[in-house]
Homo-oligomer: A and B are copies of this chain.
Amino acid sequence: MTSTTRHCYDYPHPAVTTDVITFRVRADQLQVLLVRRANPPFQGRWALPGGFLDIDEDLEQCARRELAEETGIRVTHIEQLHTFGRPDRDPRERVISVAYLATVRQDDPAQPVAASDAAAVRWFPLDELPGLAFDHGQIIDKARQRLRDKLEYTSLVFQLTAETFTLGELQRLYEAIHGSPLDKRNFRKRMLGLGQIEETGHTRRNGKHRPAREYRIRHPQRVEYF
């Protein structure tokens, strides 16, 4: 079943797919969205949602479409991560995969629904990942690293928060993503000092405990740096 097709100019063409690494934060842990493959190869294994590029479709549109088809999830932010193309990464044929990194807001109530090539869909905490199809483990590693890096010098975090948030929520989110605990006073000082966020004027109660001030990002703003 090796297969390469030939272009009219006689160039054999690889297949092109997109895969989407979708992050969200729940219960103070970073999670990623996976689907269980309904079809070979790797039938029954967990994998990133994704699939073949339609011939007249933009790459990012393909990533969004495949994600929607297989999981029903619509993301708040998506950006290109890296293109993976090892010749042996798919046993069927040569496949080039353009990976996208996406985020869903913390308070997004949407439930994923398995469909199309997906036999099941689930959010997995990053430290409980199952064995993954293809090279998807490496792809997730790269995405995680990128997310961590971008925490430092972009406002990508605010694509993972709800539209409004408390400083406590924001701090727990930072801690979930890059692992280590942060000093509360220094964290707050820095966040407020950067001028990226502003008070909404409201307070919110966490269910338990005392009410906390609500913030939002000041400018709808560039999240894309590079």
Give me the interface of A with B, judged by CB distance under 8 Å. Answer: 1, 3-9, 11-16, 52-53, 55-59, 80, 82-83, 85-87, 93-94, 96, 98, 145-146, 149, 153, 225-226
Contact = CB atoms under 8 A, between A and B. Distances in A.
Nearest to A96: B16
A153 B152 CA distance: 12
A85 B56 contact: no
A87 B58 CA distance: 6
Contacts of A98: 83, 85, 96
Nearest to A86: B58
Give this chain's copy count: 2
Contacts of A7: 3, 5, 15, 93
Contacts of A93: 7-8
A82 B55 CA distance: 19
Nearest to A3: B8
